[in-house]
Amino acid sequence: MSNVFYRSRKSYPVAVRAEGVYLWDDTGKRSLDGSSGALVANVGHGRAGVARAMAAQAERLAFVHGSQYSSDVLETYAARLAAFLNLPGARFWAVSGGSEANESAIKLARQYHVERGEPERFKVITRVPSYHGASLGALAASGMGARRELYAPLMREDAWPKMPKPDPSLTGEQDADRLRAVLEAAGPESVAAFMCEPVVGASDAALVPNAGYHARVAEICREFGVLFISDEVMAGMGRCGVPLTARLHGEAVTPDIVVLGKGLAAGYAPLAGLMAQGRVYDTVMGGSGAFKHGFTYAGHPVSVAAGLAVLDIVEGEGLVAAARDRGAQLLAGLEALKARHPQVLAVRGTGLLLGVVLGDPATGQSDVTPGRAERVAARARELGLLTYPGSGSVDGVRGDHLLLGPPLSITPAEVDELLGLLDQALTDA
């Protein structure tokens, strides 16, 4: 009998070791990490340099409380991160996970408007579907029915007006222009922020809006005095082949707040956070003088040291460009699988954030075959390939997909191995 509180009653293999793109369990079985866990292990597993940096930091300075100290490692990291993201003057607020980071972004946007003398602004517009986290505020913001239903009575629904998901049949500008109607309906003077994932993750497998979308969104937000929050927890830190995902198509756009997590410390330690534009920070500091928010472990020096060592790898090994190149290879291979497996309705995504949409080949609908992604993922797992299936219902419509996102350090041969295993799983399932 185990004393572990598992996520569900299915049985979980016990992992004991990992290196590069592979994990081993206690039976010796090896699995290729085709999803970096949940799109986390961006630099691959078993990096001794990251472990050494964490150990050295723990020995020198393991903890300070954010109400008493900054730390040298945090000062260095914030500057390096701002340079990597090309967000000069931005301020880094560190937390431990993506949900906490989105909670922070929502609260910061709210406080920003209160400080400016517009306390009537409290609503945050998000999209359907979307996923911004599991804590109650981040979950309230999420347009993901299946994960929300149980907790709905705990949430104030009118605070989170919804915008439809990106529609690739529209131009990016037309698509983004639909935000105007949502703002008008919500009452623009009551809206604090618009928040979206620049490339959709768990809720709608790697859906990418067209060029121009984010620039137009930013423009509309400015026009209505609303902050633009880009949730790059999953899509950020180079995974999509660019340092700042809101600039995916080369747009000259600077979100007011960029939210990061997952790939930041790439699984070596819990690290997430937000980058706030200088004017947002200055408004709070020039007003009441303090962000009325904080977590005990925010900016934990050991986590930040892990983040710094990971950033050294991302930059030193050119992993942003690698995400583009290996992503193109993987996408081409997935297109070939789609041609051979009619249950693959679509493949999409960018860099190494890719989605395989599954469904009934007879109807071409993904909403009549709930569980297909789970079945393919289960067979892949037996064969030694980890994927990230999603089949939650969104307002009654079932999505059924696999997210693929191996470490950005994956080699061309390992991409081929991944494709071979997925091919077999699609055939068997």
For residue 270, CA distances in Å to 94, 101, 303, 305, 306 come to 10, 12, 6, 11, 9
Q: Which two tokens stand for residue 359?
A: 């469904």
Within 10 angstroms of residue 126's Cβ, the number of other Cβ atoms is 28
For residue 132, CA distances in Å to 138, 333, 341 come to 5, 30, 32
Question: Nearest distance from residue 224's CB to ligand PLP, in Å?
Answer: 24
Gap between the Cα atoms of 391 and 368, Å rounded = 11
Q: Name the residue nearer to ligand PLP (CB basis): 23 or 202.
A: 202
Residue nearest to ligand PLP (CB): 98
Is residue 132 within 8 Å of 142, Cβ to Cβ?
yes
**Residues in contact with ligand PLP by the rule CB under 6 A:** 38, 97-99, 102, 131-134, 197, 201-202, 231, 233-234, 261, 272
Gap between the Cα atoms of 60 and 72, Å rounded = 11
Q: Name the residue nearer to ligand PLP (CB basis): 237 or 421.
A: 237
Alpha helices in 299-371 (DSSP H): 301-316, 319-340
Residues 6+ apart with CB under 8 A from 99: 132, 133, 134, 135, 138, 139
Q: Name the residue nearer to ligand PLP (CB basis): 137 or 333.
A: 137
Q: Name the residue nearer to ligand PLP (CB basis): 271 or 309.
A: 271
Q: Which two tokens stand for residue 84?
A: 């990597």
Q: Name the residue nearer to ligand PLP (CB basis): 234 or 426.
A: 234
Question: Nearest distance from residue 423's CB to ligand PLP, in Å?
Answer: 27
Q: Name the residue nearer to ligand PLP (CB basis): 265 or 302.
A: 265
User: What type of residue sits at position 217?
Assistant: V
Question: Nearest distance from residue 269's CB to ligand PLP, in Å?
Answer: 12
Question: Nearest distance from residue 340's CB to ligand PLP, in Å?
Answer: 30
Question: Nearest distance from residue 202's CB to ligand PLP, in Å?
Answer: 5
Question: Nearest distance from residue 61's CB to ligand PLP, in Å?
Answer: 25
